[in-house]
Amino acid sequence: MNQWDEMSRQHPPHIWYPPLPYPTDSTFLGVKEEAIITQRPYSIPEHGVTERAVATANIWPLMPAIVGTGTSFLLLLMLNHKTWRSKEDTTRSDEECPMTRKASLGSAVVVLNSLLATAGISYYVFSVLTASDGPIITAFLPVSAGISILILYFASAFALQDHLDPGSFSGENIGDDIVSRLNTFVYFSITTFSTAGGDLAPVNNASRILVAIEVLFFVFIFTMGIVFFPKT
């Protein structure tokens, strides 16, 4: 009796199981009598959805950053030609300048939404990285997308904060129109996240808090990279 006849008694006759040891969770497809054509190194649940796929598809934690970015851009477009406060006029009192009191409330809203957006992105990144199945390299695209969304969000938050409270950031060539200012703050958001520094600096408390939140998010991402890098 040859090996094929002996194995066919214990397993389906159309699949030949080699005598060499293989991982118990390996699934063999398209197997012929001579060789194995394809092998899946990781097991896939019967319903066909992995834990990391579920974590990646759960985009609700991203919504505060996405909605906040879109809202900030819309507000910047609406308020572009409605600046009440003039940098050259320092004689106005709080009662004479409606934007003075509104700036404090607007800055508080921007800071609170930044905390919510950062917490949502951090939770999304953590849930994707801690998924137990599949190689960690499959988390690269969703994690990169989450980081990119938050960088754009902080760029819009910086621009909105500087519009609500002019002079929140000190530096040269910030820009006079909305396009150049957005371009400047996208650059500033990238350099802040990478802790590379730049030619802009926060001046008041609200802008400093925003910069600190983005730097803390970089610390979180850096820590996650150290923890999960050995899994690659």
* 211-228 per-position pLDDT tens digit: 999 999 999 999 988 887
Instruction: Calculate the CA dihedral of residues 44, 49, 52, 56 and round it to 10 degrees.
Output: 160
Q: Per-residue DSSP letters for 128-152? A: HHT--SS-GGGGHHHHHHHHHHHHH
Which stretch of DSSP H or E encloses residue 219? helix 205-228
pLDDT at residue 213, as a whole number:
96
pLDDT at residue 44, as a whole number:
47
Q: How far is CA 53 from CA 16, 118, 146, 232, in A?
A: 32, 22, 15, 18
Q: Are residues 20 and 67 in the same domain?
A: no
Q: pLDDT for 19-28, tens place per residue?
A: 544 454 444 4
pLDDT at residue 137, as a whole number:
76
Which domain does 17 fall in, by range? 9-43
Q: Is residue 129 part of a domain?
A: yes
Q: Are residues 125 and 195 in the same domain?
A: yes
Helix 205-228 vs helix 140-164: crossing angle, to nearest 10: 170
Q: Are residues 75 and 29 in the same domain?
A: no
Q: Are residues 15 and 79 in the same domain?
A: no
- Output the pTM of the full model: 0.70
Question: What is the average per-residue pLDDT within 122-144?
Answer: 83
Within 10 angstroms of residue 170's Cβ, the number of other Cβ atoms is 12
How many percent of the chain have pLDDT more than 90?
35
- Asked whether the predicted pLDDT for residue 121 surpasses 80, the reply is yes
Q: Give the end-to-end CA distance of the chain in Å, rounded to a whole number.
A: 45
Three-class secondary structure of residue 202 per DSSP:
strand
Q: Is residue 3 part of a domain?
A: no
Q: Is residue 90 part of a domain?
A: no
Residues contacting residue 147 through CB under 8 Å, at least 6 positions apart: 121, 125, 193, 221
Q: Is residue 150 part of a domain?
A: yes
pLDDT at residue 192, as a whole number:
92
Q: Are residues 65 and 127 in the same domain?
A: yes
Sign of torsion over alpha carbons 175, 181, 183, 184 = positive
Q: Is residue 185 part of a domain?
A: yes
Q: Is residue 1 part of a domain?
A: no
